A = this chain, B = another copy of it.
Amino acid sequence: MTEFELITALTARLPTNDFVVRGAGDDCAVLELGSPGTQTLLKTDAVVEGIHFLPETEPARVGHKALARALSDIAAMGGTPTAALISLGLPRQFDPQRIQELYRGLNRLAARYQVAVVGGETTTNPERLWISVTVLGTVPRGQALLRSGAKMGDALFVTGELGGSLLGKHLDFEPRLDEGRWLAESGRVHAMMDVSDGLAGDLGHLLTASGGLGADLWAAALPISPAAKEQARQSDLSKPARVAALSDGEDFELVFAVPPGQAVPLLDGWKARFPQVRLSCIGKITAEPGIRLRTEDGIRPLNMKGYEHFS
Contact = CB atoms under 8 A, between A and B. Distances in A.
Top 9 closest A-B pairs, CB basis? A24-B119, A29-B118, A34-B35, A14-B117, A1-B96, A134-B134, A44-B85, A15-B111, A23-B118
B89 A46 contact: yes
Interface string A59-94: 000000000000000000000001101110110000
Q: How large is the interface on A (under 10, 10 to 19, 20 to 34, 35 or more residues)?
A: 35 or more
Interface string A38-70: 101011111110111000000000000000000
Nearest to A33: B35
B125 A23 contact: no
Contacts of A110: 15
Given A45-B121, A48-B125, A87-B46, A116 B16 contact: yes
Contacts of A121: 44-46
Nearest to A136: B42
A114 interface: yes
Q: Which of A13, A46, A110 has the most CB of B within 10 A?
A: A46
Nearest to A138: B33
A19 interface: yes
A23 B116 contact: yes
A111 B42 CA distance: 19
A7 B50 CA distance: 24
A100 interface: yes
A103 interface: yes
A11 interface: yes
A13 B10 CA distance: 38
11 contacts: A35-B35, A42-B134, A42-B136, A44-B44, A44-B85, A44-B86, A45-B87, A46-B121, A48-B89, A85-B134, A89-B130
Given A17-B114, A24-B117, 5 more contacts: A14-B117, A34-B38, A36-B36, A44-B121, A125-B128
Contacts of A126: 50, 127-128
Nearest to A21: B118
A268 interface: no
A45 B23 CA distance: 20
B132 A82 contact: no
A82 B17 contact: yes
A100 B35 CA distance: 35
Given A83-B20, A96-B6, A119 B11 contact: yes
A191 interface: no
Given A20-B118, A35-B34, A125-B130, A44 B87 contact: yes
